[in-house]
Structure 1
Amino acid sequence: MAAETNSISGLLTDAVKRHIPGATGIADLRRLSGGASQEIWSFDATTEAGMIPLILRRAPGGFRDTGRSGTAVTLETEAKLISLAEEVGVPVPPVRYVLTEADGIGQGFIMDRIPGETLARKILRDEEFANARPKLARQCGEVLAKLHTVEKSKLPPLRIASGRDEVEQYFKTYKELDYPHPVFELAFRWLKDNAPPGEMELTLVHGDFRNGNLMIGPDGLRAVLDWEIAHVGDPMADLSWICINPWRFGNIDMPVGGFGTREDLFAGYEAAGGGKVDPAHVKFWEVLGTLKWGVMCMGMASAFLQGDRSVERATIGRRSSETEVDLMRLLAPLTGRE
């Protein structure tokens, strides 16, 4: 790790001095443990007026990232989307500079470091966030309403995915994994039978709006992070994804991220100009999101069984059975329950 830090330090110092106004160098460069698919480095730019807290988000090892999974955007595109979201009032860490080949650091960008917490366990339980929790669901709705107003004409090239596209994609993946789950079969049939009669106007969709990708402070939502699977799609996908049970972290009776209600989420969305929310339309996406997570878990289990013996893959892989319970709660709810 020390060698890696030293190799980046000099090049990053030069880039910061060239592109951050007033910067004279860097201090306290360290790699953070977060970031499942990209490297996250924390550092301060030194100036005569004091320190500027910054983050370097970089492709693993600096090697060029072309959208690894076929759904993930490149880091240059991610930086562009963050800037576009900032223009319409979405709280984000402002992007200071997008790295170029001449910088010698690899693919990535430098953005402001926003203080706060992303760990759901702390956000949902610590006293520090007690005043924030009742406000978060409405704030999430307000932020999503702003996000969905980004002009499509300004967007860089992005994947386009409607609800029907997503159902077909994940059904194909499910069949390829060749491990029957009767409840998943039921859910796929339900989705085909209950697709919304007409697609909403497609908008920019964050794609992973949930606990872990939201920076929270005692005052509430401070920044939306990790835009790597953003795409053009149905805006209701964003409202539903934060509601699926895995992102509640045990607080199953608080559907929105374990901290709030759908009613507050929808009210915030509508009040901020997001349009009238149809709960049945959101439910379609919540069922689809839950099913998608289940298929992803199946993929993790398959990778483990084929030789990738990481504990993470094994742990996540076994959670496909939990998803079956979540789907039955959605498809055949008990009276008075979620």
Structure 2
Amino acid sequence: MSDFTAALDKLAARLGGAAENARRLSGGASQETWSFDVAGEGYILRRAPGGVAMASANAIGLAKEAEVIRAAHKAGAPAPDVVLECEEGDSLGPGYVMRRLAGETIARKILRDAAFAQARPVLARQCGEALARIHAIDGVDLPSVDAGEQLARYEELYRSFETDRPIFELAIQELKKRIPPPVPLKTLHGDFRLGNLMIDANGLVAALDWELAHIGDPAEDMGWICTPSWRFSEFQNPVGGFGEVEDMLAGYRAAGGDPAIDEARVRFWTMLGSLKWGIMCLTMYRAYETGMDASVERAAIGRRASECELDLVLMMQGKL
């Protein structure tokens, strides 16, 4: 029996049985995700890689992640049910356990497979409703960042590369001119997009991967799912490649979201989202270029910065 198997059995005992059918899932870029059963019930373990927590500039940490997911679930937002957190005696490192949900997370399937044909027309409104409930979460101590601070943070990161990308330069200056007036800041998911959403035949099941949750402008979550890179080539449908912004906003307002959040505000955050993702792509290419991460995946993602440049040009021209 491996150390991990023994540790998982110890954890399963807290759930009333022995761990069965344990397997590591491919999802989750920064944390390990495991599926297992206990006494006929399905669970998901999310823990630090190898059981060792790694520092991250933006991630809130697994303990805080579990706290915000619990708060979201309690608020009626589509979120997993966290049933326990790992303890030192579990020998699994930082992490938590959720009840396993059924659904699909692969964007290509959600956007194209016949199994989700009935879900796609209602997803944008459901996303708006979900975001209204997420943004109503209170009482969780999270980092706060507004539009100006976020733009400044990514400009500083971009400048650190000492590279000439005229489109990024132009977009930074244009975004500075377009910063919207302040609104009350809310609890945000922080990475609300296909890939982090579980969908079934009826629509949205749950928002996953809460590690970037923070306090910010509510339109940030909306702009992120509208960012062209997260439309997965279905550019004609602004919301995630499946819906319209007005439907998302209608759902948001119907579920109690701030009526001050409008399409113009979402457009600003969509453009900032493309800039952010483009700079993230540069970060990944720099990791490949310097040998910090020599994987082909890093080089391939780094190449996508050019896609963001095209998207930014089209958005500045009002064509996307």
The SS at the match of 2:226 is coil
The yes-or-no answer on 1:14 pairing with 2:3 is no
1:165-211 superposed Cα distances (whole Å, 9 cap, x missing partner): 00110000111011111111111111111111x21111111110000
* 1:111-156 deviation line (CA, Å, top 9, x unaligned): 01101100001000111101001010000000000111111xx113
Determine the C-alpha separation between the residues in 1 that align with 2:311 and 2:116.
27
Partner in structure 1 of residue 275 of structure 2: 291
Q: SS at the partner of 2:18?
A: strand
How far off is 1:333 after superposition?
Answer: 2.2
Question: Quick check: 1:304 aligned with 2:288?
Answer: yes
Once the two structures are superposed, the pairs formed by residues 121-140 of structure 1 within 5 Å of their partners are: 121-140=108-127
Q: Using the TM superposition, give the Cα deviation of residue 71 of structure 1 relative to its aligned residue in structure 2, in angstroms.
A: 1.1
Matched AA of 2:5: S
SS, match of residue 258 in structure 2: coil
Is 1:43 matched up with 2:36?
yes
Query: For structure 2, which runs of at least 5 residues remain unmatched after alignment?
Result: none
- 1:314 equivalent to 2:299? Answer yes
Conserved? CA contact 2:249–2:262, under 8 Å: no
- The alignment-based identity, stated in percent, is 48
76, 99, 122: which one pairs with 1:89?
76
Cα distance in 1 for partners of 2:12, 2:253 equals: 41
Q: 1:199 matched to which residue of 2?
A: 182
| Cα offsets for 1:247-276 (capped at 9, x unmatched) | 111101011111111111111111111021
Q: Are 1:245 and 1:252, in contact at CA under 8 Å, matched by a contact in 2?
A: yes
Instruction: Indicate the residue corresponding to 2:144 in structure 1.
Output: 160
Structure 1: unaligned runs, 5 residues or longer: none
Query: Which of 54, 60, 66 pairs up with 1:79?
Result: 66
Aligned residues: 318
Which of these residues, 250, 253, 262, is aligned with residue 245 of structure 2? 262
User: For the residues of structure 2 that align with 1:180 and 1:296, how far apart are their CA atoms?
Assistant: 16
Alignment of 1:242-261 (within 5 A): 242-261=225-244
**Partner Cα separation in structure 1 for residue 275 and residue 3 of structure 2:** 43
Give the CA deviation at 1:105: 1.3
Distance in structure 2 (CA, Å) of the matches to 1:194 and 1:27:
54
SS in structure 2 at match of 1:117: coil
Query: Taking structure 1 as the reference length, what is the TM-score of the superposition?
Result: 0.92
> In the TM superposition, what is the alpha-carbon distance from 1:282 to its structure 2 partner?
1.4
Which one-letter code corresponds to 1:89 in the other structure?
Answer: G
| 2:100 aligned with 1:116 | no
- Give, as a single letter, the amino acid of the residue that structure 1 aligns with 2:236: D
TM-superposed CA distance for 1:11, in Å, is 1.9
CA contact (8 A) 1:71 1:159 kept: no
Q: Distance in 2 between matches of 1:32 and 1:160?
A: 31
Secondary structure at the aligned position of 1:160 is classed as coil
State the 1:69 CA deviation: 2.0
Q: Secondary structure at the match of 1:275?
A: coil
Task: Return the offset for 1:16.
Answer: 2.1
Q: How does 1:151-230 map to 2 (within 5 A)?
A: 151=138, 154-156=139-141, 158-196=142-180, 198-230=181-213
Q: Assess if the C-alpha contact under 8 Å between 2:246 and 2:263 holds in 1.
A: no
